[in-house]
Amino acid sequence: MFLSTIRIIKFSLQDISRNVWLTIATITILVLALLSVNTLVTVEVLSRHAIDAVKEKVDISLYLKADASDEQVASLKTQISQMAKVKQVLYTSKADALRYFREKNKDNPEVLTALRELGRNPLSPSLIITPNNVEEAPQLINEIKQIKSEVIESRDFADNALILEKINDITKKISEVGLIIISIFIFTSMLVAYNSIKVAIYTHRREIEIMRLVGASNNFIYLPFVLSAIIYAFLGVLIIIILFYPFLGILQPYLEVFFMDYNINIIEYFVNNFWLIFGLQFVAVSLISILSSWLAIRRYAKV
Amino acid sequence: MIKLVNVSKSYLRGVKILRDINLYIEAGEFVSLVGQSGSGKTSLVKILIGEERVDDGRVIIGDWDITKISRREVPYLRRQIGVIFQDFKLLPQKTLWENVAFALEVCGQPPSKIEKIVSSVMRLVGLEDKKDRYPHEVSGGEQQRTAIARSLVHQPKILLADEPTGNLDSINANEIIDLLVRINKFGTTVILVTHNREIVNHLKKRVIAIEKGSVVSDREKSKYSL
């Protein structure tokens, strides 16, 4: 048993080293397949972060009457904060609202002149409500509408509801399309890996025939190819790790610029999920390689 | 001993390649199996090494009825029957020594035994000084001798030679036949499948002629008569 195991390893390594070009070709195809999968994983991670960034910026403004007392506002804020679907409630006073308005329109002298001519602060104080989950925002709006408070000036959230619905719709579609594209890519990549292993075995059909001729058992014929396939998978994943991290290093500064104000670190994501991403790829490629080896040997050598 | 009783074999579309073959070959015999291309000689060899199964009849080798041999049992049959072919079937990536040793390695033999057996068969076929060469570095005759050496490592009781001289010039062909005769003298049953008239006539041994899948003649110390 021990002797057979040693020989299976020996034959596998001998086969890899003596068929260098075939080994290089097979591993290159695996690397290309894995590259496309990892690129798609990166795109998926980025789109998920982008969606989260947009969702995080979604809030509901509840405008209050200008003469609302501090106690009334505090009481309303507490009431809303205690709602299950609410993440955070921030109070913006009349003065704060005016300050933000001036800051926002500092390059628009006409607006600022009009404000000056008005002679008073026309803005209302408000409560900025951030929902726990943007998908629950429409229900939250309904709940806010039910609140009985004299200090609420406006309960019209029609625009907000429409925008939220659109955001939810778009993010849902992005996720669905992303999933379909990833599935197609993974399937195509795996098909490529499957075929490259089959071709590698096809080139060994003579060797398989001779092994059968001299009385090698089926396991002895099959296992060196399985081991070779696992080694191909291991080398393929190893090379993709070596190639992909520098690529992420180049990508990261561009992402930081693109996702300004939003903390995104793609390298950290790949480091934190290293075993999940690359371990899973190794297992998947190994399984596919083993399956294709088994099918190819059965077909070409009638094992 | 090899015994074939009413053996028939057909391939797809019902084309019969062997019809009612009845043969009995004694242990230690040297038999030439002759016939034109497509007569069924190679199919007979494939049946004897368990690569093909018969449709009807029985095939017995020694005490073993291999008529319905399972795929799992085939490797064990192959270890009892040496086979050589026209195209040598050597592994180009292995040296001559490795090619011969390979047949023992795949059967789990220990290195010390492999060293002893391979040395002895390489000496028998006269290739001990070229053992480290690769197949493409030696002549066709030497490649065939390597294949013979490989077929002998399991000390088979039967040696099947399917057109072993087909790719060789007459000098190399005669050397191979002489080697087969020597092996036969050690007690191994040799079945030589050929359509080389000169070789068969020179041997003056039993000749079985096959035509269109049937045995048409079976004579002791005969000549090629087709």
Per the CB < 8 A criterion, the answer to whether B180 and B161 are in contact is yes
Residue B190 contacts by C-beta under 8 Å, 6 or more apart in sequence? B29, B30, B31, B158, B159, B161, B180, B181, B183, B184
Task: Using an 8 Å CB-CB cutoff, list chain A residues near B79.
Answer: 214-215
A104-108, B41-45, B51-55, B150-154: least confidently modelled range: A104-108
Where in chain B are the domains?
1-14+25-80+156-226, 91-155
The per-residue pLDDT for A160 is 64
* Confidence class for position B181, pLDDT limits 50, 70, 90: very high
Residue A285 token pair: 């490629």
Question: Rg (Cα) of chain A, in Å, rounded?
Answer: 31
Residue A142 contacts by C-beta under 8 Å, 6 or more apart in sequence? none
B110 → closest Cβ in A3, A207, A217 = A3
Give the residue with greater pLDDT, B223 vs B45: B45
A271-275, B10-14, B48-52, B87-91: least confidently modelled range: B10-14
Task: Using an 8 Å CB-CB cutoff, list chain B residues near A215.
Answer: 75-79, 103, 106-107, 154
* Confidence class for position B185, pLDDT limits 50, 70, 90: very high
d(Cα B164, Cα B178) in Å, to the nearest integer?
12
Is the predicted pLDDT of residue A303 greater than 50, yes or no?
no
Task: Using an 8 Å CB-CB cutoff, list chain B residues near A207.
Answer: 91
Task: Using an 8 Å CB-CB cutoff, list chain A residues near B105.
Answer: 7
From A273's Cα to the closest Cα of chain B, the distance in A is: 42
Mutate to test the interface with B, among A213, A220, A223, A303 (most CBs of B within 10 A): A213
* Confidence class for position A302, pLDDT limits 50, 70, 90: low
Residue B78 forms contact with A (CB below 8 Å)? yes
d(Cα B166, Cα B181) in Å, to the nearest integer?
17
Measured from the Cβ of residue A291, the count of other Cβ atoms closer than 10 Å reads 15
The per-residue pLDDT for B27 is 93
The strand pairing partners of B218, in sequence order, are B208
Q: What is the count of residue pairs from A and B with beta carbons less than 8 Å apart?
A: 55
The nearest alpha carbon in chain A to B107 belongs to A216
Mutate to test the interface with B, among A7, A214, A225 (most CBs of B within 10 A): A214
Where in chain A are the domains?
2-55+169-301, 65-152
Scanning the structure block, which residue is given the tokens 């025939």?
A: A209
| Beta-carbon separation of A7 and B76 below 8 A | no
CATH code of the domain occupying B1-14+25-80+156-226: 3.40.50.300
From B72's Cα to the closest Cα of chain A, the distance in A is: 8
Kindly write down the DSSP assignment for every residue of B111-179, as one continuous string. Answer: HHHHHHHHHHHHHHTT-GGGTTS-GGGS-HHHHHHHHHHHHHTT--SEEEEESTTTTS-HHHHHHHHHH
State the DSSP H helix or E strand holding residue A159, giving kind and residue range, or none if neither. Answer: helix A158-202
Looking at residue A147, its amino acid is I
Task: Using an 8 Å CB-CB cutoff, list chain A residues near B106.
Answer: 7, 211, 214-217, 220-221
Segment A274-301 shows an average pLDDT of: 84
The per-residue pLDDT for B160 is 94
From B67's Cα to the closest Cα of chain A, the distance in A is: 18
Is the predicted pLDDT of residue A23 greater than 60, yes or no?
yes
d(Cα B84, Cα A184) in Å, to the nearest integer?
49
Taking the alpha carbons of B174, B214, B157, B105 in that order, is the dihedral positive or negative? positive
Taking the alpha carbons of B151, B157, B163, B167 in that order, is the dihedral positive or negative? positive
Looking at residue A64, its amino acid is L
The nearest alpha carbon in chain B to A10 belongs to B105
Residue A113 forms contact with B (CB below 8 Å)? no
A7-11, A36-40, B12-16: least confidently modelled range: B12-16
Per the CB < 8 A criterion, the answer to whether A221 and A227 are in contact is no
Is the predicted pLDDT of residue A66 greater than 50, yes or no?
yes
Mean pLDDT, rounded, of chain A: 82
What ipTM score was computed for the predicted complex, to two decimals?
0.79
pLDDT in tens, A217-269: 878 888 888 888 889 889 999 999 999 999 999 988 888 887 776 777 888 88
Query: Chain B neighbours among A 188-207 (CB < 8 Å)?
Result: 206-207
pLDDT in tens, A138-185: 788 888 888 877 788 776 666 666 776 777 787 778 778 877 887 887
Burial A111-148 (b: 16+ CB within 10 A, else e): eeeebeeeeeeebbbbbebbbeebebbbebbeebeeee
From A228's Cα to the closest Cα of chain B, the distance in A is: 16
From B84's Cα to the closest Cα of chain A, the distance in A is: 9
Q: Thinking of the domain A65-152, which architecture would CATH place it in?
A: 2-Layer Sandwich (3.30)
CA nearest B106: which of A293, A8, A227?
A: A8
pLDDT in tens, B28-80: 999 999 988 888 898 999 999 998 889 999 999 988 999 988 888 888 898 88
A3 → closest Cβ in B77, B91, B108 = B108
A7 → closest Cβ in B74, B77, B105 = B105
Residue B143 token pair: 């490649």
Mutate to test the interface with A, among B93, B106, B146 (most CBs of A within 10 A): B106
d(Cα A19, Cα A35) in Å, to the nearest integer?
24
A210 → closest Cβ in B76, B79, B89 = B89
From B78's Cα to the closest Cα of chain A, the distance in A is: 5
Measured from the Cβ of residue A159, the count of other Cβ atoms closer than 10 Å reads 8
A72-86, A253-267, B14-28: least confidently modelled range: A253-267
Is the predicted pLDDT of residue A10 greater than 50, yes or no?
yes
From B71's Cα to the closest Cα of chain A, the distance in A is: 8
Measured from the Cβ of residue B102, the count of other Cβ atoms closer than 10 Å reads 24
The nearest alpha carbon in chain A to B74 belongs to A215
